[in-house]
Amino acid sequence: MMAMRSKLVAGNWKMHGGMVQNQALLSAIVMGTAALRKADFAVCAPYPYLSQTQTLLRDTPIRWGAQNVSQYDKGAYTGEVSAAMLVDFGCRYVIAGHSERRALYGEDSHTVALKFKAAQAAGLIPILCVGETLDQREAAITEQVVAEQLDAIIESAGINALVQSVLAYEPVWAIGTGKTATPGQAQDVHAFIRDRVAAHNPEVAAGLKILYGGSVKASNAEELFAMPDIDGGLIGGASLVADEFIAICRAANN
């Protein structure tokens, strides 16, 4: 039996944007997605723009979130931002374990699990990113790598924690490179992830949104989203271009 999962398209602006560009981009996205009722849409903005994002999106169906969160509640953690602070700015989502955080800021699966739990404890929906590097794919250990990243969360937070979360399969070699996984390559890993969750709890697996991320564009979104285990996308570069992002949202809404 096919589970009915609505699709989600989430933009990850990374360290891009500014007050003027954000205003134009968000206004265009609000208008361009107004008629799309079936799928859900969100943008993950840099911390300083969460207030602006909240102001521009609060009366729209588009949700917003952050790209990172501290694993700690409060205290002497200079430069960090807590999950409760994100809630203060109306965030629904927060990305956890993006490959850029894992690779450039030394976040290991243990830290990612703590961040995932801190986000949920505050009422946020973590978007947990998993994915292999090119070397790992070529060494045929993609499933092993993704399983390790997923298992760290399941062991730490429990299988039921996945109910209030979103997963994103993001092959590192496809992020920001213009090289997209083929729909078949992505589907294989998405199905692997869902099976692994199903081994713990089939119902949780059936309801779990698994997004694909890695050079999704207007021109390839439709064929990716047509795969049975791909429930939308996490969009980097193309989320900064209103027409591209809107077209991807439209593909998810079909």
Active site amino acids: 98, 170
Alpha carbons 45 and 57: distance in angstroms, whole number: 12
Binding mask 154-193 for ligand PEP (x = CB under 6 A): ----------------x----xx-----------------
Give the CA angle between residues 251, 41, 68 to the nearest 5°: 125
Residues 109-128 that bind ligand PEP (CB under 6 A): none
* In the complex, least distance from residue 181 CB atom to ligand PEP, rounded to whole angstroms: 11
Binding of ligand PEP by 12 (CB under 6 A): yes
Closest to 95 in 3D by CA, of 169, 44, 155, 57: 44
Which of 204/212 has CB closer to ligand PEP? Answer: 212
Nearest to 137, CA basis, from 102, 169, 163, 91: 169
Cα torsion angle, 151, 154, 159, 162, sign: negative
Binding of residue 130 to ligand PEP (CB under 6 A): no
User: Measured from the CB atom, is 22 or 213 closer to ligand PEP?
Assistant: 213
Comparison of 18 and 176: residue with beta carbon closer to ligand PEP:
176
**Residue 136, interface with ligand PEP (CB under 6 A)?**
no
SS3 95: strand
Q: What count of other Cβ atoms lies within 10 Å of the Cβ of residue 101? A: 18
Residues linked to residue 107 through DSSP beta bridges, in sequence order? none
How many residues bind to ligand PEP according to rule CB under 6 A? Answer: 14
Q: Return the residue nearest ligand PEP (CB atom).
A: 236
Residues 221-250 that bind ligand PEP (CB under 6 A): 234-238
- Cα separation, 226 vs 235, in Å, equals 16
Token pair of 143, please? 């499933």
Provide the binding-site residues for ligand PEP, judged by CB under 6 A: 12, 14, 170, 175-176, 213-216, 234-238
